[in-house]
Homo-oligomer: A and B are copies of this chain.
Amino acid sequence: MITTRHIFLSAAVLALMLAPSTAQTPATERGREIPGYFLPVPDDLSPQTRALVAAPIGRWDIHPKNIEEWKELAAGLGVRAVAATRAMREKLGVAIEPTTIAGVKAFMLTPRTIAPENQNRVFLQFHGGAYVTGSGEAGTREGILMAAFGRAKVISVDYRTSSDAPYPAALDDCVAIYRELLKTVPAQRIGVFGSSAGGGLTMALVLRGKQDGFALPGAIALGSPWVDLAKTGDTFFTNNFVDNFQVSYDGYAKDAAILYANGRDFKDPMLSPIYGDFTGFPPAILTSGTRDISLSQTVKAHRKLRQSGVEAALQVFEALSHVQWTLNPDAPETREAFEEIARFFDGHMQR
């Protein structure tokens, strides 16, 4: 009896194991349907991060029809962002001073104490915001976090956004400030960083440096970098609506890509750095989260850097969405992310 049953089950289980599964989820060359599901908030997050992860999805399905509406969108987002950065500065003890360098607006961000290893270093921050939002103080958030947790001087670049002028205005502004800095600071003592569009600008700056022959920064840091303006990257699909911060590529992000490119080919490496040549890039640290819609763009950039022989590190935070490790200065993950970035910079830059 036992033997018979054993043989019967063996055959059944073997057939089950050997046959390709097609019944439940028909798979094709094109792709597959993924059923809807309930996504719980993980219970092993810090309280601060739990609040971020449990937050409702942000507004994303906005399609500005003209420059005026883009400016309104940026202003609307800016109101809250400015309040947040002011509270952040106060809490972390970071001083701000508006300035103009090479004709480009910027903010000098200075922490209470500068680490000994950073005395002679300067860090340049390019803010995110799809090349169209984040102007003014609103764009200084990550600069403040780097100044505080990295204990370093940071210059946050208030570049022209697409509603003022499309590509190459933003990049030109970033390059202008960087080249001005080069006159007094050795490149190996300059670190450049930014997230989302700011990560794209950081990589484009390096590509511009390779093209125009100016010295490259000592190291760079890229958070959820927007390395391809097009909807390439698997997590634009798998993390669509899972990411509660950027939410979806198909909202204003897509429109902002079109606005910035202004008719140019998205595959131009100065717009979408993933199509550029990464050989000779400075050491880079990349940051993302498992719910980030840009996780794929981040890991693709990381792999291509490694394939190009570049020293590149990757850190990915559990359950965090697009740039969510830059939002709450009290979240342990925020400190952890920026301390790790600062450590990476320190290990690869000249003193």
Q: Does A54 contact B (CB under 8 A)?
A: yes
Separation of A234 and B238 alpha carbons in the complex (Å): 13
Q: A307 to chain B: which residues have CB within 8 Å?
A: 336
Q: How far is the CB of A236 from chain B (nearest CB, A)?
A: 10
Cβ-defined partner of A315 (8 Å) among B14, B241, B306: B306
Report whether B232 and A44 are in contact in the complex, using a CB–CB cutoff of 8 Å: yes
Q: Does A116 contact B (CB under 8 A)?
A: no
Report whether A318 and B296 are in contact in the complex, using a CB–CB cutoff of 8 Å: yes
Report whether A56 and B20 are in contact in the complex, using a CB–CB cutoff of 8 Å: yes
Cβ-defined partner of A59 (8 Å) among B16, B37, B68, B244: B16
Separation of A300 and B19 alpha carbons in the complex (Å): 34
Q: Does A57 contact B (CB under 8 A)?
A: yes
> What 0/1 readout, one digit per residue, does chain A (239-253) give for beta carbons within 8 Å of chain B?
111101000000000
Report whether A41 and B30 are in contact in the complex, using a CB–CB cutoff of 8 Å: yes
Q: How many copies does the complex hold?
A: 2
Q: Does A215 contact B (CB under 8 A)?
A: no
Q: A25 to chain B: which residues have CB within 8 Å?
A: 56-57, 241
Tell me whether A75 and B316 are in contact in the complex, defined as CB-CB below 8 angstroms, given that A40-B237, A235-B290, A238-B242 are known contacts: no
Count of A interface residues, CB-CB < 8 Å:
78
Report whether B241 and A238 are in contact in the complex, using a CB–CB cutoff of 8 Å: no
A299: nearest chain-B partner, CB-CB: B316
Report whether A72 and B295 are in contact in the complex, using a CB–CB cutoff of 8 Å: no
> What 0/1 readout, one digit per residue, does chain A (23-52) give for beta carbons within 8 Å of chain B?
011111111111111111110100000000
Report whether B35 and A40 are in contact in the complex, using a CB–CB cutoff of 8 Å: no
Cβ-defined partner of A42 (8 Å) among B69, B234, B302: B234
Report whether B317 and A299 are in contact in the complex, using a CB–CB cutoff of 8 Å: yes
Q: A176 to chain B: which residues have CB within 8 Å?
A: none
Q: Does A319 contact B (CB under 8 A)?
A: yes
Report whether B44 and A27 are in contact in the complex, using a CB–CB cutoff of 8 Å: no
Separation of A56 and B235 alpha carbons in the complex (Å): 19
Tell me whether A21 and B72 are in contact in the complex, defined as CB-CB below 8 angstroms, given that A234-B291, A237-B37 are known contacts: no
CB neighbors of B among A87-145 (8 A)? none
A300: nearest chain-B partner, CB-CB: B318
Cβ-defined partner of A27 (8 Å) among B26, B76, B244: B244
Q: Which residue among A18, A57, A62, A317 has the maximum number of chain B CB atoms within 10 Å of its CB?
A: A57
In the complex, 14 of the A-B residue pairs with CB atoms within 8 angstroms, ordered by the A residue number, are A13-B62, A18-B76, A18-B80, A19-B59, A27-B55, A33-B37, A37-B240, A39-B238, A40-B237, A233-B318, A234-B319, A238-B238, A238-B239, A314-B315
Q: Name A's B-contacting residues (CB within 8 A).
A: 6, 9-10, 13-14, 16-22, 24-42, 44, 54-59, 62, 68-69, 72-73, 75-77, 79-80, 232-235, 237-242, 244, 290-291, 295-296, 299-300, 302-303, 306-307, 313-319, 336, 340
Given contacts A9-B72, A22-B56, A235-B290, 11 further A-B contacts (CB under 8 A): A6-B68, A10-B75, A17-B80, A21-B59, A30-B40, A32-B244, A34-B36, A36-B36, A238-B238, A238-B242, A290-B299
